Amino acid sequence: MKQTASIFNLFQSPHPAIITATQNHTCIALHRFVNQAIAVLSLKAIHKTELLVNNVQYDLMVSTDKTALNTIVNFLLGTVLLHSQDNSIQVSAKLIGNITVMHIKTNDTGQVDAITRHIDKIQPMARSIGGCVTISNGKLHGINLAFTFINH
């Protein structure tokens, strides 16, 4: 529990991947945003021989609450990193209408219960931006987190 709290607090700092701001929402270059999150986590990944890969399209733009997005993305990446060892963690995203679907995938299949417990803690914040986080565990393909949220 204490370890989770420290990971959550570690990723509170905002990222400068802002393009424009309108009302309460910010237009964000998601590839650059994910790169910055990965850069923060890469020091931890080196010690665990994890490979963090950003497969988000370079031109993908989202419009949402930047602070909430920062907290959620970093929390999810940190949780997956905390509960995996010697794996590849891949981040991808796509737009479906005004919905963004972000996937965080790892080939690890053994820690789904621990990851699920951590994800429950971030659900209220995901809901605050019109989103949710789901998890699936394919015994052959590993764990897949899907974070969906509304573009405003």
Per the document, the length of the chain is 152
The residue among 85, 104, 100, 117 whose CA lies nearest residue 3 is: 117
pLDDT of residue 146: 97
Q: Would the pLDDT of 6 be above 90?
A: no
Question: Which pLDDT score is estimated for 49?
Answer: 58
Which pTM value belongs to this model?
Answer: 0.80
| CATH code for residues 2-150 | 3.30.565.10
For 44-98, the pLDDT digits (tens) are: 666 665 788 999 999 999 999 999 999 999 999 999 888 887 788 899 999 999 9
Residue found under tokens 């701001």: 21
What's the pLDDT tens digit per position in 102-114?
999 988 777 788 8
How far is the C-alpha of 68 from the C-alpha of 134, rounded, in Å? Answer: 17
Residue spans per domain, the chain: 2-150
